[in-house]
Amino acid sequence: MTSTAAELLEVLWGRASTAPASASQLRVLLILEHHEGINLRTLADSLASTPPSTSRLCDRLQAAGFVERVVSAADRREVHLHLSGRGRTFLADLRIRREQTLRAVLDQMPAAKRVALLQGLEAFCDAAAAQIHDDSDDSPASGTRTA
């Protein structure tokens, strides 16, 4: 049942997305939204990718006007990545389209089932956030790897 729900959500997300961004590019935009100014290596680690692949991904996003690269004032070899105004607008518009698509489905559900779903999703978000936080604490990039 869980995989069916995830697949249906993916279909709904796809319908809402008239995006010029691939799934990988969208992941980059979301990471930059939450970690403004990170460097390429940190982004590559977050994506479980290589710096050259991540750089090419950022090249495409920069060409589309979604990402800006800023040379570090402290070290000219280091480049910080920022979500551009166009990138922020793109994410906001995508969220609106997704919300509208989901709202159409939720409106067809009985009120009690919507409340139960909301409670379940809140618990899911809490558990997922805790797991992601724990995973990032255990990652080699964090420097606090546990046994």
**For residue 26, which of 78, 64, 71 has the smallest C-alpha distance?**
64
Name which of 18-27, 60-69, 89-98 the model is least confident about: 18-27
Q: What is the mean pLDDT of the chain?
A: 86
Assigned CATH for 2-108:
1.10.10.10
Beta bridge partners of 80: 39, 70
Q: What is the sign of the dihedral through the CA atoms of 83, 95, 127 and 48?
A: negative
Please write down the long-range contacts of 8-13, taking CB distance under 8 Å and 24 or more positions apart. Answer: 12/98, 12/101, 12/102, 12/105, 13/98, 13/101
**Mean per-residue pLDDT, 106-130:** 92
Per-domain boundaries in the chain: 2-108, 110-147
State the CB neighbour count (10 A cutoff) for residue 16: 17
d(Cα 72, Cα 3) in Å, to the nearest integer? 43
pTM assigned to the model: 0.74
User: Higher model confidence: residue 108 or residue 15?
Assistant: 108
